[in-house]
Structure 1
């Protein structure tokens, strides 16, 4: 009996020893796997610095840009991030500024319209003069050709050299029918940028989009102010000679007058244009418009870095934010520096903090992470489009993108915002990551405004690369939009709370960690506008 007891004690001691060793080893493993912690101190320093007056509002092609770009490059170097664009941290972005003289008049048939009051117009041609000369006017409904929705507003109509009148948004918004496009949620085809692009592809000379506040998502005053100042744009080798002579908007009352002048009811035709089978129609009048411009060439810069991966280093995750704001404004009384603290020093600081967290990992991700700070987002996503047109690596090697365009500085929430719904599989990854924090995903409250298509990730989406937008423009702080958004008052505040930032950056970090150590390639969901582009890109042989 004593011998049996001794044997049992020996077995017990060996089992205990094995258990203790396993416990120690598991503790070491857990310590090694513990994610690097968010540092409120470093994040606050990043955003406070970028939003300071020293950077003069971070306007493109200014001294403020030079200071901003230098700061971002130095911070990436400190973190051990490597150059990410052809062996450099800098991607040069050739740009131009152009302003249209407001000494113009739009004549359609026997009617004459005044700039600002009735219409606005500009161009992206690098010429001193653009003209519509007796250009035939055609109503093309919503100006959409969307095969996946069985819709073509250009059916059987050659619009080369003609001036097109079209409706804003898309038929889904007009009908509020979930079976038509995406119902209330704007699609890519509802964006005014698409409408101009499609008209250019078809050789039109002019486009005038009919403005309605609900469908556009903003009042006429926003359209008017956006067309009367200098606009930045990308320029091709031809000086953009294939662009429209007139990129314009007209008030709804202006459209009503034009249609009434040829005995047509605009309201009835607008309703008809929202139904399948609509056919474009010639109005039987000509458009005339003569516009002079001032233009100037220049260049700006994107800042690009890379954190190399290990076993899958030729597959890339993208982490992006735009560095620009609105610079300094002449003629503004008092404070004339548009510091852009929330929009988007907060997002740039978020990317820098995530870069710090990634660089301090003991075990790098299997996949590489491209970090990009884009210029000129506020003037048309220009830096992002330049990056998408000439990327540092082929787009078929880009797994997915995480874009930060303002952060929640009002305190922790039990949700994370989602822009776009039912478009891409990354939405499912977002749901899982949020659930891991005990949070829910909150859909965009105003999908009709198409915010998914209005930030830098969209430039890569057009090339087929899926991406999530992280943005909190006043959702957690409604006072921000009313009093500080795109104004000198968007400054660093000592009253900010960082618990919301911490939650969101930890969430993005968890997505980077999970996807960066995975062989998954999240794609676009059925019916998404960019699904076929991605499929074509991924199917191309390497080297093409």
Structure 2
């Protein structure tokens, strides 16, 4: 080992993982940089990004462009290098907003009442007609390795499958969120030869989705659909929903009881059967194309070989724009969601700017568009990264960290599926934080933010959220968050005048930095746990 190599090794963090120990030792330089994370700077970043003049940062809007310009300038000032397309900071994201017109559903020759069904628009075929028999396939889940398959023993080729949204109780929260995801449901249906999917309502009081405002997809350079949550392929020409009033007689006609099906499915007993009905669907779609951007920067790693691999720190830059007024305010500023997450990523970039010796792997900062439209910008980046696809080894995502109270414990959504759990435990231990299981498993939070886009591309990823621990020992933070969320989440009231704990924001920055740094330092790539549902994705 030469002197230069010895100096490099001594300057880097020393990681100790003997036996069951989660102890790590960070270099004095890194400790100083961590201590220098500024709550005031976090507040300043949020204040700008959530200002009324940005008009809620809707993708493609002038306000979103102001946000792009702001984060680009901040990254430049922190000596981050551009890592977008063609040497720029940006990746083009071509959004298509599709609207439905003249949708018709005919069941056994009888036209269904308009409000009793929903058909989602098609982003590439403007006039669509489809017909086929119906088949009920439970939750639409096919996971034989987990002991559950709604498609076992039933032929759905050329048919429109009808499902209920849900998953067996035996599935963990993140697995349940994955198999219930609309893209996954459509993919499984298409792989079994179906030509359409209709999500049925077993609750007579359930309200039908409103698609009059349009749905979004991302188009590639050739004009094909790259990412969508309501379209999978040309083969799958129908995606929609059926009301209870339409579904109940169809199920009854097959000799089944719609009221009994949910409990059986929840118990892990597949309920699949043919429905003696033919469906004819016809509809027209119209389009509005919108250009938006992901912002991408990098810090180059120190190792000659490993610097060609990347650990991603991500957060979404967009929010909901201008919408329906609430208490006289129509600008959905998105201070917590997700100006706070963007500020956190900028804070991590500042730490890297403060340390001379970088980790072995390179670091990628990705600030993405279209999360509020269905994780679309992250979906496009994870599928079409601006660096070689196989070079992405992990994603540490930050979305609405909910900095409203001291951060004493955390939940690492998704980490339980991969070796990233080790780095989470090490980083949390260093900061005296406890790690807890998801306190809100029914919220399906694992698939509701950008880390999921990386997971479905086979890249281990996680999303740190608050745990339940509170300073008074009641450990009921979720009870505190619930009324806060009801008042602020996806409302114009989510601005800089709301409830904030910027010291908690500092702790998030420190934690996510350490997690990413440890991954970037370890020679071995993160791996999925053996036999995990995502190990083959």
Contact 1:424–1:466 (CA under 8 A) maintained in structure 2? yes
In structure 1, what is the equivalent of residue 496 of structure 2?
492
* SS of alignment partner, residue 314 of structure 2: strand
For structure 1, which runs of at least 5 residues remain unmatched after alignment? 1-28, 214-218, 534-544
Distance 2:278 2:357 in 1: 67
1:141-188 deviation line (CA, Å, top 9, x unaligned)? 2212224224433335443432110121222x2xxxx4xx43896252
In structure 1, what is the equivalent of residue 129 of structure 2?
131
Distance 2:395 2:418 in 1: 12
In structure 2, what is the equivalent of residue 154 of structure 1?
151
In structure 1, what is the equivalent of residue 163 of structure 2?
166
Matched, 1:34 2:31: yes
In structure 2, what is the equivalent of residue 518 of structure 1?
522
Q: Given the superposition, is the C-alpha separation of residues 67 and 527 from structure 1 closer, same or farther in structure 2, using an over 3 Å criterion?
A: same
1:223-242 superposed matches below 5 A = 224-225=209-210, 227-236=211-220, 237=222, 239-240=224-225, 242=234
Contact 1:416–1:440 (CA under 8 A) maintained in structure 2? yes
Deviation at 1:78, TM superposition (A): 1.1
1:171-213 deviation line (CA, Å, top 9, x unaligned)? 2x2xxxx4xx438962521223310222234443321123468
Among 301, 307, 311, the residue aligned to 1:309: 301
1:393-450 deviation line (CA, Å, top 9, x unaligned)? 2333222111000123212132112324732221232123212222211221232332
In structure 2, what is the equivalent of residue 451 of structure 1?
445
TM-score w.r.t. length of structure 2: 0.83
Distance 1:80 1:256 in 2: 61
In structure 2, what is the equivalent of residue 97 of structure 1?
97
Deviation at 1:69, TM superposition (A): 1.3
In structure 2, what is the equivalent of residue 9 of structure 1?
none
Distance 1:374 1:54 in 2: 20
In structure 2, what is the equivalent of residue 188 of structure 1?
178
Among 345, 364, 367, the residue aligned to 1:370: 364
Contact 1:124–1:244 (CA under 8 A) maintained in structure 2? no
* SS of alignment partner, residue 55 of structure 2: helix
Q: Given the superposition, is the C-alpha separation of residues 275 and 499 from structure 1 closer, same or farther in structure 2, using an over 3 Å criterion?
A: closer
Q: Given the superposition, is the C-alpha separation of residues 38 and 524 from structure 1 closer, same or farther in structure 2, using an over 3 Å criterion?
A: same
Q: Given the superposition, is the C-alpha separation of residues 333 and 97 from structure 1 closer, same or farther in structure 2, using an over 3 Å criterion?
A: farther
For structure 2, which runs of at least 5 residues remain unmatched after alignment? 1-25, 226-232, 468-476
Distance 1:331 1:229 in 2: 16
* SS of alignment partner, residue 291 of structure 1: strand
Distance 1:282 1:317 in 2: 47
- Which one has a bigger Cα radius of gyration? 1
In structure 1, what is the equivalent of residue 76 of structure 2?
77
Among 248, 252, 274, the residue aligned to 1:256: 248
Q: How many residues align?
A: 488
Distance 1:30 1:429 in 2: 17
CA root-mean-square deviation: 2.8
Q: Given the superposition, is the C-alpha separation of residues 495 and 265 from structure 1 closer, same or farther in structure 2, using an over 3 Å criterion?
A: closer
Deviation at 1:279, TM superposition (A): 7.2
1:319-362 deviation line (CA, Å, top 9, x unaligned)? 00010101112777832211111111110111011111111112
Matched, 1:460 2:458: no
Distance 2:325 2:48 in 1: 26
Distance 1:429 1:38 in 2: 20
In structure 1, what is the equivalent of residue 138 of structure 2?
141
1:35-54 superposed matches below 5 A = 35-36=32-33, 37-54=36-53
